[in-house]
Structure 1
Amino acid sequence: MHDDRQLVEARLERVLRERIRPAVHPRTAPLDVEIWSASGEPVPVAEGLAAPTRPIAEGTPWGSPWGTSWFKVTGEVPADWAGHTVEAVLDLGFTPRTPGFQCEGLVYRPDGTPVKGLHPRNSYVRVGSPVAGGERVEWRIEAASNPDLDASGVPFRPTPMGDLSTAGNAPQYVLGAMRLAVFDETVWDLVADLEVLGELMAELPVDGARRWEILRAVSRALDAVDLQDVGGTAQAARDELAGVLAAPAAPAAHRISAVGHAHIDSAWLWPLRETVRKVARTASNMTALLADEPEFVFAMSQAQQFAWLKEHRPEVWEKVRAAVADGRFVPVGGMWVESDTNMPGSEAMARQFVHGKRFFLDEFGIESEEAWLPDTFGFAAGLPQIIRAAGVRRLLTQKISWSRTNSFPHHTFLWEGVDGSRVFTHFPPVDSYNCEIQGAQLAHAARNFKEKGVATRSLAPTGYGDGGGGTTREMVARAARLRSLEGSPTVRWEAPAAFFDKAEAEYPNPPVWVGELYLELHRATLTSQAQTKRGNRRSESLLREAELWSATAAARTGFPYPYDELDRIWKTVLLHQFHDILPGSSIAWVHREARATYARLAGELDGLITAAQSALAGEGTVPLAFNGAPHARGGVPAGGATTPDAESRAGAVPPVARRGGGYVLDNGLLRVEVDARGLVVSARDLMSGREAIAPDRAANLLQLHPDFPNQWDAWDVDAFYRNTGRDLTEVTELAVDGAAVRVERAFGASRVTQLLSVPLGVGRLDIDTEVDWHERERFLKLAFPLDVKADRYAAETQFGHVHRPTHQNTSWEWAKFEACNHRFVHVDEPGWGVAVVNDATYGHDVTRTVRADGGTTTTVRASLLRAPRYPDPETDQGVHRFHHALVPGAAIDDAVREGYRANLPERRVTGAAPVAPLVTVDEDAVVVSAVKLADDRSGDLVVRLYEAHGGRARATVSVADGYATGRAVLTDLLERPLPDAPAPASGQGDVRLALRPFQMVTVRIPRGEDPDGA
C-alpha cells in the first residue's frame, strides 16, 4: 500500500504538469504585437491608446526600470474554431516568482474601456464562449516594467533599482508568447478536481480510509485519461472523481469564510504613483471575475485606493461603483489607509477612521464596522478606544502570527484597550492574507484554530496581493469543490461583516486580551528612515496648531476656516502613515518623495498658522508670543493664547559655569554636571534633593551597535545586537556655546554635535543632537541610566500611556526588547520619577540592573538611527536632528506636559493686543487633543480631549466667543451625536465632564446663544 500511495501521488503530479494542464489550451494561434514606450513617467490613458507603435516579436527585451510601455495586440479567431470557447493568453514576460513583484498590465479595448489586469498567474482575456470564428480582436495593454527587486534570488540584497536615479535603463523583461487559444473547460475542470483532491489527500492521515478512497479514485481517473487525447477523455476522468467529490463534509468540520482580497501596499517596493495603477489593474480583474462568478465576494480596504481610482482611473471607478452597489465588491476597514498603528499620534489615528469612513459613506452610503489591518506591525493599546469611537466594533489582523518568540493564544477574542474599550477581534488561523484555497492552507487553518470546541469558523482573505491581481478563477473553482467535502473544512464566499456576525453569534463570551498587541518582529520599523518619522511628527503637531488657530481666528474675526486645505493635508499625512512608509520599510524613491512632501506640507501649515495668528493679533507693534500646548494650567493654554512682549521663562536659559574639565548648568530647580567627556554625570532635582543619574554612570551617552538582522533589514533588529557595541565617549570639542554646553564627537565616518542647556523655570535638561550619519549597518542609541527602582515604566501611546515591565520574567517580557513610545517615557518609584521626552523618535528600550550597593539602575535608551541597506541602500545617510529632554522629579503629569512642550514651538507675531484662549480646561489631567470647526462646515466647534494620567477626572471646559455650551453634545469621531450619551452638564460658557481613566471624548458645541440664557 505504501508504494501504491507514493506512485499515485508522483504520477498525479507529473501528469498534471506535463499533460493535463497544457491541454487546457489545446490549440493556439499567434497574435500580432506592437509596442510604444513612454519616455518618462506614465502617460494618461488617452495618450497611451493613441500613441504610435512599432512591431515587436516574441523573445524581444522590453521595458526600462519603472517604465511604461503600451502594447497593441491584434488578431483573428480561426474560422475552424467556431463553437469553441476562445481566449487570449498574453505573457508580458512573466517569471514564476511571486505575483505582484514584476511586470503587470491592464488591458483596454481601443475605445478605452478597461477589460482586466494581466499578472503572472492571471494572463488570460476571454474572447467569446462560444465564438463564431473569424472575429477580429484588438486590445491595448498598459504594461509596467517594474523591476523585481529580488531578481537575484537572494532576498534583501541591496539594490540600486529602488529609485529612478540609480536604476539605469536596461530592459527588464523579455516578451513571451501572445496568442489566441481554445479554452477546454472540461480539461480545466479536471485540473481543478485533481488539484483539490490531490491536496486534500496529502493532508489526510496516511492510514485513514478517506485518503485511500481518494487515492483509488484519482488512480482510476488517471487511467481514464488518454494522454494523447486529454480533451477527448477528460470527462471520463471527471466521472471517476464524481463520487469522492460528492462526499459531504462532517458536521463538525471547521468552517472557513473566504473573501476575495488583494492586499495592496500603498507603497513599498514601488512608489505611490505605481500603486494607483496596481489598484486599477486589480479592481478591473475583480469586477470582471464578479461578473463571471455569481457566488464570489471581493473586499477592498483603504479609502485612499478607492479615491485614487476616482481621480486617476474613472473608467475603472465606474465599474467598481456598480459592483459596490450590487453588494459584492465590499469596501472594508473604514480607514484612509492600512496604517501603522504604533507611531501615529492620537489625532492622526482618529483621523484615519474619520476620513476613511466618511469617504465610504459619501461615495457608497456604506458604514463599515470592521477595521481591516492584516499586515500592520503590531497594535497600540490605545487603538480599541479609537476604533469604538469611530463606530467600528470589530478588527481583523494577521500579522501577529509572524511573532517569533511566543504564539498568540487566541484566534478570536475581545481586545481591551487602555481605557477599557473592547473590540471583537479575529486572527485568521490560515496565517495568510494571500490565501489561495490550497489544501495545505485549509488543513493548517483547521489544525491551528485555537478556539476549537467553543467556536467553529474563521476567515480566509483569498487572492494575490501587491499587484498580483487578486483572486483567480482557479481559486473560485477550488472553493466550489470545497463547499462541503469530506475530510476538508467547508468553504463559503462571505463578506467580512457576514463572517463577523456569525462568529460573534456562536462565541458570545470570548477570552479577553488586555493591552497592546505587540508583534515580536519588525521592531526596527520604529527607527528606520528617521527623516520620514520626523516629518510625520512635525506634520501632526502643525496640523493640531493649524486647526486650533484657524478655529480661534474664525470665531473671533470671521477668518475663513481653511476646510479644503486642512482636509487635503490631513489625507496626505494619513497616506504617509501607511505601514511601509512611516515604518521606513519602502524603497528609496518612496522616502525621497516623503521627505519632499513633508517639507511642502510644513510650509503650507506654517502659512495657515501665521495667517490665523495675524488675523487674531490685529494691526499693531506689540510682539506677541503664541503657544499651542495642550491645556490651560501652568501657563500652557489650550485654545491658543498670546501674551504681551515678555521673555518666555521656559525659553530663557541661565549661564554655564566651568567646573574642572567640565561644566555645571544650574537654574535653581535642576543642577546638571557635564564631565570632560561631554557626558551627564549628575542631574540633581534641587526641590527633592534626589540624584537622577545612577552612581558611577553617565547619561547623554551615545552607544553604537552592529546591526545586521537575520533577515528583513529595514524591518528587524534582533536581540543579539546588544551583545556587542561601544560607548562613544571621545570628544573632539567641549565648549560653552551661549548658554549651552556644546559637545562634538567623531566616530567612523560620522560626526555628532550636541547642545545641552537647562531653561529657567523648569527642572529640565534639554539635549539637541545633530548627527551627520554615514555608517552602514549600525544602530545608534542615546542612553540615560537612572537611579530609579522601577519594575515597570510608562510609554505614551494614543490617548494615554501603556505600562511595560522593565524585567524579563517571561518570554513575553523578554521579547519586548524594543518598543514604541510617542512623546515620553516615564519611570518612577513611589513619590519620585524621571521622564525622557523627545520630538521625533519612537523606538526605545528600558532595562534594569541591581548594583553592588543594592540600588537599582533603570536605563532608558532612545533609538536614534539605523543604517540598513534593503530596500533602500542609502537609508538615513545624511544629517539628522533630534531633541530630547531629561526631566528629573517628573510625575506623569510633568511627562505629559513636557512631552507636548517639546513638540510645540513658540511663535511670535506683531499685533495690537493679547488674545485670550478660545478653550481652556481647569484640570491638569485632561488634555485637549483637538480644537477645530466641525467638518460639515456648520460653524460648530469641536473639542476632543482625554484623561492623560490614568485616573478619574472631573474637568470644566470653558469656551469663549458665543458658543452655545448649553446645547453641547458628545459625539463619535465623525462628529455625529452619540445616541445613548447624556448631554454633558453645562453652564454659561462651559461644559463639565467626568472622565474615567484614559477616556477620550469629543464635544460638539453649536455656534449661537444658549437656550433660556443658560
Structure 2
Amino acid sequence: MHDDRVITERRLYRFLRQRLEPAVLGQRWPVRVTGWDVPGEPVPAAEAIAATAAYTERPAGSPWGPPWSTTWLHLTADLPDGVPLEDLVLLVDLGFTGDGPGFQCEGLAWRPDGTVLTGISPRNNAIPGRLLATDGSGGVDLYVEAAANPDLTQGWTFQPTPLGDPATAPATPRYVLGEIALAHVSRDVEELYRDCWVLNGLMAELPVDAPRRHEILRATEAMMDAMDPDDVPGTAALGRQHLRDVLSRPASASAHHLVATGHAHIDSAWLWPVRETMRKCARTFANALTLMDEDPDFVFVASSAQQYAWIKEHYPDLFARIRERVADGRFVPVGGMWVEADSTMPGSEAMARQFIEGKRFFLDEFGVDGEEAWLPDSFGYSAAMPQIVAAAGMRWFLTQKISWNQTNAFPHHSFLWEGLDGTRLFTHFPPVDMYNAQLLASEVAHAERNFRDKGRATISLVPFGYGDGGGGPNRLMLAAASRWRSLEGAPSMELNTPASFFTRAEAEYVRPPVWVGELYLEKHRATFTAQHRTKRGNRRCEALLHEAELWCATATVRTGAAYPAQELDRLWRMVLLLQFHDILPGSAIAWVHQDAERNHDAVAAACEELIAAALAALAALSTDDGTSTDGSGSAGCWFNATGFPVRGVAPFGAGVPTAVTTPATVTEQDGGAVLDNGLVRAVVDARGLIVSLRDAATGREAIAPGGRGNLLSLHRDTPNEWDAWDLDGFYRNTVRELTEVDAVTVESCPDAATVVVDRSVGATRIRQRIVLAAGEPHLRIEHEIDWQEHEKLLKLGFDLDVRADVSSAETQFGHVQRPTHTNTSWDAARFEICAHRWLHVGEPGYGVAIGNDSSYGHDVTRTVRPDGGTTTVPRVSLLTAPVFPDPFADRGQQRMTVTVAPGAGIPEAVRLGQATAGLVRRGTDRGVAVEPLVSLDGDGLVIDAVKLALDGSGDVIVRLHEAHGARSTAVLQPGFACRSVETTDLLERPIEPRRGVTVDGTTVTVVADPFTLSTLRFRRA
C-alpha cells in the first residue's frame, strides 16, 4: 500500500508538471513588438505613447533594461479569426528571471488612449482576451511600461551589491525579452489543473493513513487513466468528472474557518526607491481591479493612504475605478495610517499624525471610516499603540510580524491588547503566519493547526496575495479559494473583508486573554540604530514641525496672519512617509536613504521658513504695540517637553527660569579634568572616561566603584540573517573597549566647561566634547565621528552604582518599563530596546537619566559586585555598519549628542529628553516676546501639539498627555478669547471627556491617570 501510494503521488506530480500545465495554453499567434528605452527617469504615459519615432523592433531574445531603467514596448497584432476573445490571452514575458513577483522586472499595460489596463509580473503575465481589442478594429494595440528593477535579493542571500545606488549600478542590460504572443487557452485543462493543484496539496497535508487521502489518490489515479496524454485538451472534461466527488465533499462542521482577504503588502520603499513604489501600486491595484471584474466574490484590501494619494495624482483613471470599487465594498481601504509606519521610533505626535492623516484621506476621498488598524510587517509594536488607535476612532488591530520571534512563540492569536493607559484593543495575529499567503494547502492547513485559541474561538484571517514588492492575488489563488470554500479535510474558507472577520471574531470570543504592554519583536533589533542620518533627520523634523505649527497658530490668532495649513500638511506627510517601516528603521537601499536625507533637509528648511514668517508677523505686532521684541519687560515663554510654550515648566523645576549665578569651571587634573557648575561635578580621567559623577542635591556618586562612564565599546556585528535588520545576542561575545586616546584637552568659558577627547580606531576618527554648561544639571557628550567601520556596532555606556530592577524608556505619550534581569526567556530576548529621547534607571530615591538627540537603540545590563553593590549599565547604540542592503550604510561624518543626569527621577528624565533635543528654550530665543496661546499650571502633563483645527475654523487644538506615569493634575487655560472647550478624538471629532477632565467655562482641569492622552478644541470667540 505504501509503495502504491508513493507511485501514484509521483505520477500525479509529473502529470501536473509535464502534461496539464503545458497544455493550458495551446496555439500561439505572433505579436509585433517595438520598444523605446527611456533616457533617465520614467516619463508619463502620454509622452511615451507619443514618442512613436523612437520605437525600434524588439524580437524575442533582445537584451534590455540597465538597472532602474524603463523601456516602453508597443505590442500590435491581428486577432485570429474564429477564436472567441474569452479563449485568448496575450502572453508577456519580459525576461523574468524566476517566478517571484515584485523583486525583478515588472510591467504595466496601457491602452493607446493613456489609460491603465493591468499589471504584468512573473505569475500574472497573461492579459485576458476581453481586454485586448482596444482599437475597435479587432486588433491588439497596447503599450507596456517595463521597469528593469534589479533583483537585489540574490536568491535571498542578501550579499553586498552596488545595485541599490544608481551611481554605482552597472549600465549593462539585465534582462532579455522572452515570449510575447497571443495564445489559446483551454478552459477545461485550466480548471483541471486548478483542481489537481488543490487536491495534490491537500493530500500532502493529510495523515498517510487517512481514508480521505486514499480516496483522493484513487480519484486522481482514475482521472489520469481516463485522460489521453496525446490529447489533454480533448479529454480534460472527462478527467474532471473523476474528481467531482472528492471535490464536492464538504468540510467538517468543526473545521476551523478562514476569512481570506486579498492583499498586497507593498513596501513604500525598500529594495526600490519611492518613485518605483508609485508604479508598483499602479500595477498591483490595476491587477486587483481586473480580477474584480472576473470574480464577483473577490475582495481586496490596501492600506497606506499615501499609496492611494500617489494613484490619485499620477493615475487618475485608475483612481476613479478604485473609487467605484470602494463604493461597492470590494476595494477596501484599511489601516487608517498614512503609511504602514515603524511603530516604535516615531515620536508621540508623529504616531498620532499617521492615523490623523491616513483617516482624513480615506474620509475625504472615499467616505470610509475604517475601524481596523493594519500593521502586518512593522518591527515590533509600541505599548502606546492601543490608545493611539482608539483615539483615532478604531476598534481592532492586526499584525503578523510577531510570528517572526526568534525565541518565544506568542501565546495567542486573538486577544485583548492593553496599552500604557489601560486602553484595550481586540487584536488578531493570523495563524497562517504570513501576510502574503498564496492559499496553498500547506498554508491553510498550518493556519488550522497553529491556531492557539481552539475551543474558545473558531475563526481567523488569511491575507493572501504576493507582497512586499507588490503583485497581489492572481487567478490561481482565487481558484483555490473557491475550492477551499468547503472541502473535506481542510478548514472552510470565504472571501470577505477584515471588518467582517473582526466583527464575528470579537462576538464569539467574549472573554479573550489580555496582553499588557509592548509587542516586542524578538528580531530586527538593529533597526533601532541603522542609518543614523535618517533617524537624526526624523527627530529634527518632528521637533521643527511641532514648533512651526505652534508659531504659525500663534501668529494667526495674534495677528490674523494666514495659517499655512496646506503647507504644514505637505510637510507632515513627507515626514510620515519617511517613517515607513523600511525607511526610518534603516533597512532600505542607499537610494532610499539618500532621498530621505535630502527630503528631511527640505522639510527642515521649509519649517524654518514658516517659523521665520510667523515670527516676523508677531514682531511687527509687537512693534506696533510698542512692546519690546528683545524680551525685556516680558517673561517670554518656556517650551515644554515637545517644544511648546507653557507657563511653569522650566528646566528641572517649576516657575520661570532664574538667572544662573554659578559659572561652569574646568580644572585639569592628572591628565584629565574636573568639571563643576555647582549642580553637577564630573571627573574625567586621562583616558577621557568619566570616573566620578555627582549631583550637588544628593552628593551621591553615580559611577560604580571601579566603573567608568563615557565608555565607547566596539562590537563585531555579523548577524545570522538580515544584515541591517538584525542584532544577534552573540555580538556581546566580541568587544573592544575604546580606552586609548589621541588627545584630551580642556576648554573653558563662563557659560560652559568642556573636555575634548579625540580617539582613533583604524580609519575611524571620534571626537567627543564633554560639556557641563552653567545652570544645567546634566553633562552633555557631543560626538563628531568619521565612521569608517565594516560590520561593527558602536555603543556608549555608563557603569552606574544603582540597583535598578527595571529601566524606563520614553515611548509615544509616556514611557515603558522593562526588566533589567533575564529571569525568563522573554526577558533575555529583550536584550536591545527602543527609547526615544531618554532612558532612566534607578532605585527608590535615586536614579540616573540618559538623554539623546537622535538615537533609539539601547541596552541595560546589571551585575552584583563582590562588595554587595549592584552596577547597572545603560548603553546607547550610536552607530552600525551593515553591508546589506546599503553596503556603505552610515559611513562618513556623523553627529549625535548623549546627556547624563545624576540624581534624576522620571520628571527630570522627561525634562532631560527635551533639553537634549534642544527644545527647552524661551520664546525670546527666537527674538520675539509673546504670551503663549495656552498656559499649563501643574506638573506631570506635557503638551504635545498646539495647532489650528483641521476643519479651517480657526479653533485652537491642544493635545497633551500625562508623562510621569502617575496621577497628575494640571489646569489649562487659553491665552485668547474663547467661547467654549470640548474634548475630541484625534480627528477632532467631539467625544465624551475621559474621566478627570472637567471644563469650567474655558478653563480645563485635568486630573490625569498615568499616560492618558487628551485632545481639546478651544473654540475661538
What's 2:640 paired with? 629
Residue type of the alignment partner of 2:952: R
CA offsets 1:458-493 (integer angstroms, 9 cap, x no match): 100010113442111111101101100000011100
Residue 107 of structure 1 contacts residue 141 of structure 1 at CA under 8 Å; is this kept in 2?
yes
CA distance in 1, matches of 2:469, 2:868: 59
Match of 1:655 among 665, 673, 682: 665
Residue 648 of structure 2 contacts residue 937 of structure 2 at CA under 8 Å; is this kept in 1?
no
Match of 1:308 among 286, 310, 319: 310
Unaligned runs of at least 5 residues, structure 1: 1009-1014
Greater Cα shift, 685-694 or 863-872: 685-694
What's 1:985 paired with? 998
What's 1:380 paired with? 382
CA distance in 2, matches of 1:758, 1:553: 36
What's 2:685 paired with? 675
What's 2:138 paired with? 135
Residue 648 of structure 2 contacts residue 936 of structure 2 at CA under 8 Å; is this kept in 1?
no
Match of 2:147 among 129, 144, 149: 144
What's 1:1012 paired with? none
What's 1:1011 paired with? none
What's 2:40 paired with? 40
1:888 aligns with 2:890: no
Residue type of the alignment partner of 1:433: Y
Aligned pairs for 1:894-909 (under 5 A) are 894-905=908-919, 906=921
CA distance in 2, matches of 1:142, 1:513: 48
CA distance in 2, matches of 1:766, 1:83: 73
What's 2:443 paired with? 441
CA spacing shift, 1:456–1:910, aligned 2, 3 Å: closer
CA distance in 1, matches of 2:90, 2:522: 46
CA distance in 2, matches of 1:69, 1:647: 67
- Alpha-carbon RMSD: 2.1
SS at match of 1:834: strand
TM-score by length of 2: 0.95
What's 1:736 paired with? 746
CA distance in 2, matches of 1:288, 1:159: 36
CA spacing shift, 1:129–1:610, aligned 2, 3 Å: closer
CA positional deviation for 1:561 = 1.6
CA spacing shift, 1:801–1:84, aligned 2, 3 Å: closer
Residue 758 of structure 2 contacts residue 765 of structure 2 at CA under 8 Å; is this kept in 1?
yes
CA distance in 1, matches of 2:131, 2:270: 39
SS at match of 2:901: strand
SS at match of 2:705: coil
SS at match of 2:952: coil
What's 2:5 paired with? 5
1:719 aligns with 2:726: no
CA distance in 1, matches of 2:28, 2:582: 43
1:703 aligns with 2:713: yes
Residue 758 of structure 1 contacts residue 765 of structure 1 at CA under 8 Å; is this kept in 2?
yes
Aligned pairs for 1:514-553 (under 5 A) are 514-553=516-555
SS at match of 1:833: strand
Unaligned runs of at least 5 residues, structure 2: none
CA spacing shift, 1:287–1:83, aligned 2, 3 Å: closer
CA distance in 2, matches of 1:48, 1:330: 32
Residue 996 of structure 2 contacts residue 1008 of structure 2 at CA under 8 Å; is this kept in 1?
no
Aligned pairs for 1:217-256 (under 5 A) are 217-256=219-258
CA offsets 1:847-905 (integer angstroms, 9 cap, x no match): 00000100000000000000000000010011111111110010100000111122135
CA spacing shift, 1:79–1:499, aligned 2, 3 Å: same
Match of 1:843 among 844, 857, 864: 857
TM-score by length of 1: 0.96
What's 1:857 paired with? 871
Match of 1:871 among 881, 885, 897: 885
SS at match of 1:758: strand
Residue type of the alignment partner of 2:640: A
CA distance in 2, matches of 1:706, 1:736: 32
What's 1:1004 paired with? 1017
SS at match of 2:797: strand
CA spacing shift, 1:474–1:836, aligned 2, 3 Å: same
CA distance in 1, matches of 2:887, 2:658: 46
What's 1:27 paired with? 27
Residue 399 of structure 1 contacts residue 519 of structure 1 at CA under 8 Å; is this kept in 2?
yes
CA spacing shift, 1:108–1:728, aligned 2, 3 Å: same
Residue 622 of structure 1 contacts residue 911 of structure 1 at CA under 8 Å; is this kept in 2?
no
Residue 221 of structure 1 contacts residue 240 of structure 1 at CA under 8 Å; is this kept in 2?
yes
CA distance in 2, matches of 1:798, 1:755: 30
Identity of aligned residues (%): 54
CA distance in 1, matches of 2:439, 2:297: 15
Residue type of the alignment partner of 1:927: V
What's 2:18 paired with? 18
Residue type of the alignment partner of 1:36: W
Residue type of the alignment partner of 2:989: R
CA distance in 1, matches of 2:788, 2:1019: 54
Residue 628 of structure 1 contacts residue 904 of structure 1 at CA under 8 Å; is this kept in 2?
no
Residue 633 of structure 1 contacts residue 924 of structure 1 at CA under 8 Å; is this kept in 2?
no
What's 1:925 paired with? 940
Residue 104 of structure 1 contacts residue 119 of structure 1 at CA under 8 Å; is this kept in 2?
yes
Residue type of the alignment partner of 1:702: L
Residue 87 of structure 1 contacts residue 181 of structure 1 at CA under 8 Å; is this kept in 2?
yes
SS at match of 1:525: helix
CA distance in 1, matches of 2:10, 2:50: 51
Residue 217 of structure 1 contacts residue 241 of structure 1 at CA under 8 Å; is this kept in 2?
yes
What's 1:690 paired with? 700
CA distance in 1, matches of 2:865, 2:993: 55
Match of 1:262 among 261, 264, 280: 264
What's 2:515 paired with? 513
What's 1:347 paired with? 349
CA positional deviation for 1:550 = 1.5
What's 2:434 paired with? 432
CA spacing shift, 1:131–1:855, aligned 2, 3 Å: closer
Residue 637 of structure 2 contacts residue 929 of structure 2 at CA under 8 Å; is this kept in 1?
no
What's 2:958 paired with? 943
CA distance in 1, matches of 2:226, 2:744: 88
SS at match of 2:1014: strand
CA distance in 2, matches of 1:760, 1:217: 87
Residue 670 of structure 1 contacts residue 686 of structure 1 at CA under 8 Å; is this kept in 2?
yes
Q: How many residues align?
A: 999
CA distance in 2, matches of 1:331, 1:379: 21
Residue 664 of structure 1 contacts residue 672 of structure 1 at CA under 8 Å; is this kept in 2?
yes
CA positional deviation for 1:612 = 1.9
SS at match of 1:623: coil
Residue type of the alignment partner of 1:914: A
Aligned pairs for 1:279-298 (under 5 A) are 279-298=281-300
CA positional deviation for 1:958 = 1.8
CA distance in 2, matches of 1:555, 1:269: 46
Residue type of the alignment partner of 2:205: E
CA positional deviation for 1:963 = 2.1
Greater Cα shift, 982-991 or 247-256: 982-991
CA spacing shift, 1:324–1:244, aligned 2, 3 Å: same
What's 1:790 paired with? 804
Aligned pairs for 1:66-465 (under 5 A) are 66-81=68-83, 85-128=87-130, 135-151=138-154, 153=155, 155-465=157-467
CA positional deviation for 1:637 = 9.7
1:975 aligns with 2:975: no
Greater Cα shift, 625-634 or 65-74: 625-634
Residue 637 of structure 2 contacts residue 930 of structure 2 at CA under 8 Å; is this kept in 1?
no
Residue 86 of structure 1 contacts residue 129 of structure 1 at CA under 8 Å; is this kept in 2?
no
Residue type of the alignment partner of 1:232: G
